[in-house]
Amino acid sequence: MLVLGIETSCDETGIALYDSSEGLLANALYSQAATHAEYGGVVPEIASRDHIRKTLPLIRQALDDAGKRVADLDGVAYTAGPGLIGALMVGAGIGRALAWSRGIPAIGVHHMEAHLLAPLLAAETPSLPFVALLVSGGHTQLVRVDAIGRYTLLGESLDDAAGEAFDKAAKMMGRGYPGGPEIAALATAGRPGRFRFPRPMTDRPGLDFSFSGLKTFTANTVRDLQPLTGQDAADVALAFQDAVVDTLVIKCRRALKATGIDELVVAGGVAANTDLRKKMAASVPAVYYAPPELCTDNGAMIAFTGHERLAAGAVEPLAIATRPRWPIAELAPT
């Protein structure tokens, strides 16, 4: 079965082809990060227009890269949510139209389920059950995974997600968007020990997250340091990154202990943070990641997840249905 994956949930247009016997055949990506950087965050209308402009050319590119034709497709998968409604509608409309024109099935994929399953495309994969930490864009969640589609939400962010906190902290220090790579790069020149920021909600039981207080603490620190020097910014970035990473590690260890599970998957854009990977490796018995190029939003994770659900017999009506908000616990098992 050859499945085309279309990812248009936010500010990256991702197109990929996944085949049952040959695996991932093509993975094309266009990032809008530079476009949105001057605004300090994603502008939904601009994002939607860029998806309209880029989706069809990227589909042609992916097919050419794989040496395939539209007639070779057996199914189409597209991101149905969660995400920006206008952006979702672009991928859903194109995916459904393409599938209808060829008389093949199409399926809407849950964006966070796709991130969760992306590590299964790596050389080393976890065994079921496992605990997943999802840290992507506006989501920070801990999920128990017993099978594809059988998910139990263990904890989530009550306010800002980790990725949003990185974006906002970077903006406070006059850095660009997206904030994760900016903070990570800045932190490499930071001096350990100058600042210690709070590890939010680690002093109480439970697996939920909250980063709004850490964001306020960072804002107050930056305000008190004005005028902010380059070294000040680096020191703040290091302290901020340490606080976020330590919080994620503490909560993951707590989740593994609570479930009695030994294996952890870390998925989503923040999973690419090298400091997070280093501290996870030192603190967790077995941790798995997607390949680095598949940590951020991409079509490969959509194509693979859609393939798994279509191969299991999932069927959806012709109507286009997108969900800007879509709890992962509501997904049906395969």
Position 201 scores a pLDDT of: 96
The residues of the chain scoring below 50 in pLDDT are none
* Two tokens, residue 325: 């908000």
β-pair type (23-31, 75-81): unpaired
Q: Smallest Cα–Cα separation from 269: which of 160, 118, 47, 155?
A: 118
pTM exceeds 0.85, yes or no: yes
Position 137 scores a pLDDT of: 74
Placement of tokens 């990506």 in the chain = 29
Position 26 scores a pLDDT of: 98
Q: Write the DSSP assignment of 42-104 as a string of letters.
A: --HHHHHHHHHHHHHHHHHHHHHHHT--GGG--EEEEEEESS-HHHHHHHHHHHHHHHHHHT-
